[in-house]
């Protein structure tokens, strides 16, 4: 049996915060605003995992008005989604992420992000794809107002 899930997340830039994507601290400034650490990549993957098993979305488990998640590391959200998926007997076959950002350049951070995500999900790095693109200066990402992340995940079960 197979299941597929997709997730998307967007956060606006907040200059004074560190930039954390895919569990990797990319810069000490020029980060994203949000209740948690605003890791749009991990949020998109979390929603993809939950979506694949029709278990709601990240907000149904970790509402942004809950003070417990203020400044929280998003790996907590991902680990809970992994637990839910695993409880149903599902294993991750692969996941594919696209980050849409005009800045900063993400190519040097792609492999560290893959490694960090693979480690959080107990996967091999070859099961984790991270791609980065710009929108050629169009739209909110092109105007450098924020970053978007899209994730697709495939689950398998005997
Ligand atoms: Mg988010």
The DSSP secondary structure of 4-21, one letter per residue, reads EEEEEEEEEEETTSPEEE
Q: Mapping DSSP to helix (H, G, I), strand (E, B) and coil, where does residue 41 land?
A: helix
Q: What is the pLDDT of residue 68?
A: 86
Ligand 1 center–CA 124 separation, angstroms: 25
Q: Record the tokens describing residue 152, joined without a space.
A: 């697709």
**Is the full-model pTM beyond 0.75?**
yes
Ligand 1 center–CA 66 separation, angstroms: 14
- Measuring CA to CA, which residue among 98, 84, 86 is closest to residue 50? 84
H helical segments located in 1-158: 40-52, 58-61, 75-87, 110-120, 139-142
The per-residue pLDDT string of the chain (158 residues; one tens digit each, 9 = 90 and over) reads 999 999 999 999 999 999 999 999 999 999 999 989 999 999 999 999 999 999 999 999 998 888 888 888 999 999 999 999 999 999 999 999 999 999 999 999 999 999 999 999 999 999 999 999 999 999 999 999 999 999 999 999 99
Q: What is the pLDDT of residue 94?
A: 98
Ligand 1 center–CA 97 separation, angstroms: 15
Q: What is the pLDDT of residue 64?
A: 84
* Rounded Cα gap, residues 127 and 151, in angstroms: 13
Q: Record the tokens describing residue 27, joined without a space.
A: 């810069």
* Gyration radius of the chain over CA positions: 15
Q: Are strands 91-100 and 128-133 parallel, antiparallel or unpaired?
A: parallel
Ligand 1 center–CA 9 separation, angstroms: 5
Spatial CB neighbours of 86, under 8 Å, sequence gap ≥ 6: none
* Rounded Cα gap, residues 18 and 38, in angstroms: 10
Architecture of domain 2-156: 2-Layer Sandwich (3.30)
Ligand 1 center–CA 158 separation, angstroms: 32
Q: Enumerate residues with CB within 5 Å of ligand 1 (an ion).
A: 9, 43
């Amino acid at each position: 049996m197979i299941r597929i899930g997709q997730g998307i997340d967007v956060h606006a830039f907040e200059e004074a915060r560190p930039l954390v994507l895919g569990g990797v601290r990319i810069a000490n400034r020029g980060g994203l605003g949000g209740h948690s650490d605003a890791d749009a990549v991990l949020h998109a993957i979390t929603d993809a995992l939950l979506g694949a098993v029709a278990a709601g979305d990240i907000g149904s488990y970790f509402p942004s008005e809950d003070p417990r998640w203020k400044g929280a590391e998003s790996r907590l959200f991902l680990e809970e989604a992994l637990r839910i998926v695993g409880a149903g007997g599902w294993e991750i076959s692969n996941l594919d992420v696209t980050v849409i950002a005009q800045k900063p350049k993400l190519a040097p951070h792609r492999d560290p992000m893959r490694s960090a995500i693979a480690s959080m999900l107990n996967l091999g790095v070859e099961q984790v794809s991270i791609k980065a693109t710009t929108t050629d200066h169009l739209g909110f990402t092109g105007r450098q107002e924020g970053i978007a992340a899209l994730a697709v995940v495939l689950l398998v079960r005997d």
